[in-house]
Amino acid sequence: MSRITFSRYWAFQAAGWGAFVLINTFFAYSFQALERPEDAEQFIGRLIIFIFLGVFFTHLMRFVIIQLNTLQKPFDKQILQFLAITTIFSVVGAALYVFLVGKFHWLKANEIPYYRDNPFLLILNHAFLFFIYFFPWVLIYFIYHYVVKSRKQQMDTLQLEALVKSLELQTIKAHINPHFIFNALNSIRALIDENPIRARTAVTELSNILRSSLKAEKGETVSFQEELKIVKDYLALEHIRFEDRLQVQYDVDEKTLACEVPPMMLQTLVENAIKHGISKLMKGGLVMIRSDLKENFYELVVQNTGHLDGGANRTGFGLSSTQDRLQLLYGDKARFEIKQVSADLVEAKILIPNSLN
- The pLDDT profile of the chain, 357 residues, written as one tens digit per residue, is 444 466 788 888 898 898 988 988 888 777 665 667 777 888 888 899 999 999 999 999 999 998 998 888 888 888 899 999 999 999 999 999 999 988 888 888 788 887 787 888 889 989 998 999 999 999 988 888 888 888 887 886 777 566 556 655 555 555 444 656 776 777 778 778 777 888 888 888 888 777 766 655 556 788 899 889 888 988 888 888 788 899 999 999 999 999 988 887 888 899 889 888 998 898 989 999 999 998 889 999 999 999 887 544 555 556 777 787 788 788 888 999 999 999 899 999 999 988 665
Give the closest residue to 42 by CA, choosing from 93, 108, 133. Answer: 108
**Domain end position, chosen among 159, 182, 213:** 159
The whole-model pTM stands at 0.51
The domain spanning residue 248 has which CATH number?
Answer: 3.30.565.10
| Residue 56 near residue 89, CB atoms below 8 Å | no
Residue 174 inside a domain? The answer is no
CA 257 to chain centre: 31
Residues across the chain: 357
- Residue 3's pLDDT is 42
Is there a single domain that holds both residue 81 and residue 196? no
Please state, as a whole number, how many other Cβ atoms lie within 10 Å of the Cβ of residue 266.
24
Work out the burial of residue 176: count CB atoms within 10 Å of its CB; fewer than 13 is exposed, 13-18 middle, 19 or more buried: buried
CA distance 27 to 44: 13
Contacts of 121 (CB under 8 A, 6+ apart): 114
Residue 45 inside a domain? The answer is yes
Instruction: Give the DSSP letter of residue 75.
Output: H
Residue 182 inside a domain? The answer is no
Residue type, 119: P
- Residue 304's pLDDT is 95
Residue 169 inside a domain? The answer is no
- Residue 349's pLDDT is 94
Cα distances (Å, whole numbers) of residue 215 to 209, 210, 212, 343: 10, 9, 5, 39
| Residue 229 near residue 257, CB atoms below 8 Å | no
Identify the domain containing residue 35 by its residue range. Answer: 3-159
Residue 313 inside a domain? The answer is yes
**Domain end position, chosen among 115, 142, 159:** 159
Is there a single domain that holds both residue 155 and residue 202? no
N-to-C CA span, the chain: 47
Count structural domains, the chain: 2
| Residue 56 near residue 99, CB atoms below 8 Å | no
Is there a single domain that holds both residue 72 and residue 199? no
Residue 187 inside a domain? The answer is no
Residue 179 inside a domain? The answer is no
CA distance 322 to 173: 10
Is there a single domain that holds both residue 30 and residue 120? yes
Please state, as a whole number, how many other Cβ atoms lie within 10 Å of the Cβ of residue 146.
13
Is there a single domain that holds both residue 86 and residue 213? no
Work out the burial of residue 184: count CB atoms within 10 Å of its CB; fewer than 13 is exposed, 13-18 middle, 19 or more buried: buried
350 — phi, psi (to 5°)? -120, 130
Is there a single domain that holds both residue 101 and residue 244? no
Is there a single domain that holds both residue 197 and residue 336? yes
Is there a single domain that holds both residue 119 and residue 253? no
Pairing verdict, β 297-305 and 345-353: antiparallel
Is there a single domain that holds both residue 211 and residue 308? yes
Residue 125 inside a domain? The answer is yes
| Helix axis angle, 119-191 to 317-330, nearest 10° | 140
**Domain end position, chosen among 104, 137, 159:** 159
CA distance 217 to 172: 11
Q: Rounded to the nearest 5 degrees, what angle is found at the Cα of 86, between the Cα atoms of 80 and 91?
A: 130
Is there a single domain that holds both residue 208 and residue 127? no
Is there a single domain that holds both residue 201 and residue 345? yes
Contacts of 289 (CB under 8 A, 6+ apart): 228, 231, 248, 249, 250, 251, 252, 266, 270, 301, 302
Is there a single domain that holds both residue 10 and residue 155? yes
CA distance 266 to 300: 8
